[in-house]
Chain A
Amino acid sequence: MDALALHREGNDWRLDLKGDWSLDRLPQIDRELDALSGPIEGSVVCDWSRAEHPGLGPVWALLTRLAELGAAQLDIRHEGNPPSSVQLLKKLQLEICTSQGKRTIAVPAREGAIGKLGRFTVQQGTEARGVLAFFGRIASVLGGSFARPRMLRLPSLARHIRETGVAAVPIASLIAFLISVVVAYLGAQQLTRFGASIFVVDLVTIAVLRELGVLLTAVIVAGRSGSAFAAEIGVMQLNQEIDALRAMGFNPIELLVVPRVLALIVALPCLTVIADAMGLAGGGLLCLIDLHIPLAQFTLRLREALSPTTFWAGLVKAPVFGLLIGMVGAYRGMQVRESARELGRLTTIAVVQSIFLVILADALFAVLFEKLDF
C-alpha cells in the first residue's frame, strides 16, 4: 500500500497519508517522498486521518521534503488528527533554518604537491625532534638514577622482565629451534651434492649465533611486547591516567617508560642466549638424523667453525634491539590521543616500525662488524 498520495484540489494541493507511518516504514516513505515532483505552490493540506502510529523520523522527512519542494512560500496545514509531534518538529525546523542562515562552511583549501611535500617535511621534522626529546628524557632518568637508585623502580622492572622475558621463553625457543632445523635442512640438501655435508654445521652455527638467534628473538619480542607497551600506555593516555600521574608529581617516563625499556634491554640478551642454544640444538638434531653426524663430531666441528667472537657478535646487538623496541612502543603509546582508532593505528605503527628499525640496525651492525673485522 502506498504511504502517501498527492493530488490537486483547485489551486491547492492535498496530501493523503495512509497506513503505518512509524519509523519501521521509513525506507518506503522515503522513496515515495523522493518520487514526489515539484514545484508545489500555494497551499498544501496534509490529511492524517488514515495514518497510524506516526513516528518522529517519517514526519520529519515529510516536513523536510515539503520544505524542499515548495520553498518558503508554501502554506502547509495539517488536518485529520495530526500527530502531536508536528508542532514540535515545525519549531525545530524553524530553528535549524535560522541557524543555518548564519552558518558558514569552511572549505579546506586544496594543497598542491609542494604543499604536501612541505607538510610532510614539517611533520617529519617535528617527529624527529619528538623522538630525540623522548630519548633525552629517558636518558635523563637513567642518568639521575645513578644518584637516586630508587628512580629505577626495581619491582616494576622485575615485573616487566617477567612479562617480556620469562613469558617469551617458550615461543622464542620454539621458533629458534624450528628455523634452525629448516636452515640446516636446506643447507644439507645443497651441500651433500658436493660431498661437503659437514659444512652444514658451519652454516647453522654461524647463521644462528651471528644473525638468526638475535634477529628472530627481536622480531618476536617486537610483536609481543612492543605492541603491548603501545597499547598499555595508549589506554592509560585515553583514560587520562598519565595526566593524573603528572598531576600527582610523578614523571610518567620514570614510572612507565624506563622500567619497560630497561626490562627489554635486560630480557632480550637473555632470550637471545636461550634462542641460540635452542637453534644449535635444532641444527645438531637435524645433522644427527638427516646427515648421520654424531653429536661428538658436531661439537668438534662447531668449535672449529666458530671464531671466539661469533657468539658475541650476535649477543652484543640484543640490548640495542631491546632499546629500539621498547622506545618505539612506549613512544607510540604516549602519542595516543582521543580515540580507540588512534590506539589501533599507533599500536600497528609501533610493531611495524620497531621491526623495521631492528632490521635496519642489524644491517648497520653487519657493515660495522665487517669494517672492524669482528
Chain B
Amino acid sequence: MVEESARPIIRVQGLVNRFGRQVVHNELSLEVRPQEILGIVGGSGTGKTVLLRTILGLHRPQAGKIEVYGRDIQRLTPPERLAMDKSFGVTFQTGALISSLTVAENIQLPLREAYEISEDTLDDLVQLNLSLVGLAPDDAEKYPAQLSGGMIKRAALARALSLEPKLLFLDEPTSGLDPISASDFDALLLYLHDQLKLTVVMITHDLDSLFRTCNRVGVIVDGGMVSDTLAGILRNTNPWIHEYFHGPRAHGAEEAAQEEEAQRG
C-alpha cells in the first residue's frame, strides 16, 4: 500500500485559475492515489467543477501542472490526448446524456467510436452496463427525457463505465436524488469500486455520501486544497472546514456513518 500511495494517479501542482479579477484557484495542489475514492468539497463558487474540468483538459489553467498517470496533460499530442480521454469515465452534474439518442445509443456512442464491434455484441454490452448500474433492460430504449433524475444519473454512470475506465470522475452524483436513491447510488459506487478496482474522484455536497464512500477528502478553502483522510479532516481546525463538517447538518450523517462502520465490524 505504501508503495502504491507513493505514486499518485493524478498530481496537480500550483494550479492557478482566474476569471477576470476573480481568483478561483491559487496555487492549488492535489494528489489522487490509486484505488481510492476522493471526495472534493467546497463552498459554492470555490471552483470544484472548474478543478474537474481542468484535470479533464476542458479548461486551460493560467498556471500550474497537471499530471495524470505521470504525464503532463498539457503536453500531450492529439493521439495521446485521445487515449487519455478514453481511459477516463466522467459524469456531469446534470447527466449530459445526448438528448436525441436513446439510453442504449448513449452507452454505445463511445464504444462505436473506439471499436468495430458487431451490433449484437454492442447490445450485449449495453445490457452489461445497464445491469452494472442497476437499470432494467427495458430502459435501454428510452430517451433521456423519459427518465427520472435518479435514472439519468445511473444512465450517465453506465455511459461513463462503457469504456471500462480505471479512473472515474463524478460531479455531484447524488445531488437531486431522494435519500433512498442516493443511498443506493453510494452502495453502487462502493460495489463498483470494489469489483472493478476503480479510482474515483467525486465532487459532492452530500455529507452522508461523503462519510459512507470516501477514503479521503479534499476541501477547497481560500483557493487552495486541504486534503486528508476523513478522520483527519474532521479534526482540522480551519474554521470553514470545522463549520462544514460539524455544522447542524453534519451530525446525523457522521453518526450514521459511524453506526454503519460499527455494524460492518
On A, residues with C-beta under 8 Å from B are: 22-24, 26-27, 30, 34, 55-57, 60-61, 64, 84-85, 88-89, 92, 95-96, 99-100, 103, 337-342
Q: A92 is contacted by which of B115, B128, B144, B164 (Cβ under 8 Å)?
A: B128
> Closest residue of chain A to B128, judged by CB?
A60
> Closest residue of chain A to B131, judged by CB?
A92
> Closest residue of chain B to A31, judged by CB?
B118
- When distances are taken between beta carbons in the complex, the residues of chain A under 8 Å from B100 are 339-342
Q: Are B143 and A339 in contact (CB under 8 A)?
A: yes
> Closest residue of chain A to B116, judged by CB?
A27
Q: Are B196 and A56 in contact (CB under 8 A)?
A: yes
Report whether over half of chain B's contact residues are helix, strand or loop; otherwise say mixed. helix
CB distance from A341 to the nearest CB of B (A): 3
Q: Are A30 and B137 in contact (CB under 8 A)?
A: no
Max count, chain A CB within 10 A of own CB: residue among B118, B121, B144, B164: B121
On B, residues with C-beta under 8 Å from A are: 98-100, 115-118, 121, 124-125, 127-128, 131-132, 136-138, 143-145, 163-164, 195-196
- When distances are taken between beta carbons in the complex, the residues of chain B under 8 Å from A96 are 127, 131, 137
**Considering the chains assembled together, what is the distance between the CA atoms of A92 and B115 in angstroms?**
24
Q: Are A338 and B145 in contact (CB under 8 A)?
A: yes
**Considering the chains assembled together, what is the distance between the CA atoms of A23 and B164 in angstroms?**
7
Q: A61 is contacted by which of B116, B124, B145, B196 (Cβ under 8 Å)?
A: B124
Give the number of A-B contacts (CB < 8 Å): 63
CB distance from B258 to the nearest CB of A (A): 29
Q: Are A85 and B196 in contact (CB under 8 A)?
A: yes
**Considering the chains assembled together, what is the distance between the CA atoms of A160 and B123 in angstroms?**
49
Q: B163 is contacted by which of A23, A30, A95, A340 (Cβ under 8 Å)?
A: A23
Q: Are B164 and A56 in contact (CB under 8 A)?
A: yes
- When distances are taken between beta carbons in the complex, the residues of chain A under 8 Å from B143 are 338-339
CB distance from A30 to the nearest CB of B (A): 5
Q: Would you mind naming 27 contact pairs between A and B with Cβ atoms under 8 Å apart?
A: A22-B164, A23-B163, A24-B115, A26-B115, A27-B115, A27-B117, A30-B117, A30-B118, A56-B132, A56-B164, A57-B125, A60-B125, A61-B125, A64-B124, A85-B195, A92-B128, A95-B131, A96-B127, A99-B136, A100-B137, A103-B138, A338-B143, A338-B144, A339-B143, A339-B144, A340-B100, A342-B100
Besides the known contacts A84-B195, A85-B195, A92-B128, 4 further A-B residue pairs in the complex with CB atoms under 8 A apart: A30-B118, A30-B121, A61-B125, A338-B99
- When distances are taken between beta carbons in the complex, the residues of chain B under 8 Å from A84 are 195
- When distances are taken between beta carbons in the complex, the residues of chain B under 8 Å from A23 are 115, 163-164
- When distances are taken between beta carbons in the complex, the residues of chain B under 8 Å from A103 are 137-138
CB distance from A242 to the nearest CB of B (A): 15
- When distances are taken between beta carbons in the complex, the residues of chain A under 8 Å from B116 are 27
Q: Are B164 and A57 in contact (CB under 8 A)?
A: yes
- When distances are taken between beta carbons in the complex, the residues of chain A under 8 Å from B115 are 23-24, 26-27
> Closest residue of chain B to A33, judged by CB?
B121
Q: Are B145 and A92 in contact (CB under 8 A)?
A: no
Q: Are A339 and B131 in contact (CB under 8 A)?
A: no
**Considering the chains assembled together, what is the distance between the CA atoms of A57 and B117 in angstroms?**
11
- When distances are taken between beta carbons in the complex, the residues of chain A under 8 Å from B98 are 340
Q: A339 is contacted by which of B136, B138, B145 (Cβ under 8 Å)?
A: B145
**Considering the chains assembled together, what is the distance between the CA atoms of A27 and B99 in angstroms?**
28
Q: A57 is contacted by which of B118, B128, B145, B195 (Cβ under 8 Å)?
A: B128
